[in-house]
Amino acid sequence: MKRVFDIFFSLIGLLISLPLFAVVGILIKIDSTGPVFFRQERIGRNFERFAIFKFRTMVLDAEKKGLSITSNTDKRVTRVGKILRKLKMDELPQLINVLRGDMSLVGPRPEVERYVELYKKDYREILKVRPGITDVSSILYRDEEGVLGDQADPESYYVRVVLPQKIKLSQEYLKKSSFSHDVKLILKTLFRVFLVLPKN
């Protein structure tokens, strides 16, 4: 049931978003040198690696010039990239990952391998399901870049504080997982993005 839901709505979402993809692609190319899409290896269900799709929001070869995480003070982020990140539009191409079966619309957010390795015991349970475009942590940490930007050592704070909290939320999601719960999280995500509701 969940896979059918994912295929149907990711396909509809991609078809509806095609004009937006074209406009965003043009803006990205005008703003900076490099491809429209950014691909990064993440760890998916059963620890299988896959390439996650995003609109490129950073300078070319940004991964070689800094951390895997991003704060709101990161100088690698382009002008158009700042807008896309604020509106969460950079995540839209992940509908391709959902259609391909790498991800689900709702599920624990996928991490890069080195962060998964730090908490591998926890991820053995979490990665029994497909990672998702959104989950509870995506809603609660909508301004994650701002939170990290306030820290003297953003990566250390992410590993020590933010990531363990995300793992706990993912574990709670697995216990509550159901079709109705997923629909509720999708609606909450849309409200957060488009209406910018308060966090509580």
Collapsing DSSP to helix, strand or coil, 175 comes out as helix
Question: How many structural domains does the chain have?
Answer: 1
pLDDT in tens, 13-38: 999 999 999 999 999 999 999 999 99
- Indicate the helix (H) or strand (E) that contains 4: helix 2-31
Q: What integer pLDDT is reported at residue 142 of this predicted model? A: 84
Q: State yes or no: pLDDT of 190 exceeds 90.
A: no
Q: Domain for residue 69, yes or no?
A: yes
Residue corresponding to tokens 């070689």: 64
The mean pLDDT of 180-197, rounded to a whole number, is: 81
In a domain, 200, yes or no: no
d(CA 112, CA 68): 8
Domain membership of residue 187 as a residue range: 2-195
**Per DSSP, what are the bridge partners of residue 42?**
50
Q: Is residue 36 part of a domain?
A: yes
The Cα–Cα gap between 89 and 83 comes to 8
What is the distance between the alpha carbons of residues 81 and 99, in angstroms, rounded to a whole number?
A: 24
Q: Is the pLDDT of residue 198 over 60?
A: no
Is residue 111 a part of any domain in this protein? yes
Q: For the chain, what is the mean pLDDT? A: 92
- Do residues 7 and 99 make contact, with C-beta atoms less than 8 angstroms apart? yes
- pTM of the predicted model as reported, rounded to 2 decimal places: 0.89
Is residue 173 in some structural domain? yes
Specify the 3-state DSSP secondary structure of 103: coil
Q: What is the percent of the chain with per-residue pLDDT over 70, rounded to a whole number?
A: 96
pLDDT tens string 107-133:
999 999 999 999 999 999 999 999 999
Does any domain span residue 144?
Answer: yes
45 domain-assigned: yes
pLDDT score of 196 more than 70: no
- Is the backbone of residue 192 left (phi > 0), alpha (psi -120 to 50) or beta? alpha
Let me know: does 153 contact 107? Beta carbons within 8 Å: no
Question: pLDDT tens across 80-96, in order?
Answer: 999 999 888 999 999 99
Is 54 within a domain?
yes
